[in-house]
Amino acid sequence: MEVVFCVKKCGISFKFTLEHAKNQSAMCRVNSRDGEDQTTSHSHRGSGGPNGSPIQRKRRRPVSDLQLIWGIDLQLIVDRCKDVGIWHMRRPAKDFDPDSLRSGLPKAVWSLEWAVEEGKGRVYVHCTAGFGRAPAVAIAYMFWFCDMNLNSAYETLTSVRPCGPNKKAIRAATYDLAKNDPWKEPFENLPEHAFEDIAPWERKLIQDRVRALLAPEK
């Protein structure tokens, strides 16, 4: 199952769509049952596939960016995205690997922030099942760029999409960005709830460091 999150801009809303179907040639599963939950108005989660139908449904909406967090060859989906004018960005992260998520979050969030600021449509973020990597990216984005603390961002997302993204990995990535001194204390030595919130100056520093990353590749 592929799950997509779209975050448009802070004040955040989530409108979730599930679709159930199978597509073996795509090396993925796409679901075809529809059901939606919404808390405000800007963000969407759904599924994607290279045979055209899920992506075509998204093409009927103003979609300009598709951000993939998936560790397999998705060339068929990439090609289909190009056909319908969707910008494709890939930020690989290993499933069930908190260290991989920790190291990959800054670039993934930068891709999302870049697309939100520069794009003219919706931004979809999806991983394999939508339980770990994709929601972690959306939560980190809200935490770093939307003036929310980690618990508020986490609860905002999980209240409409029950899932369990690794909160510790998000805290660790936050620590890496806020305290990148070579002599800093190892994150593992910090208190259990460290970096669930950040000071305004730390948030600004994190935003600057995320935005200083290279522009996302197509």
Task: State the catalytic residues.
Answer: 127
* CA dist 98 → 30, 124, 145, 152, 165 (Å): 25, 22, 22, 21, 10
DSSP string, 77-143: HHHHHHHTT-EEEE----TT-HHHHHHHHHHHHHHHHHHHHH-SSEEEEEESSSSSHHHHHHHHHHH
CA distance 99 to 168: 10
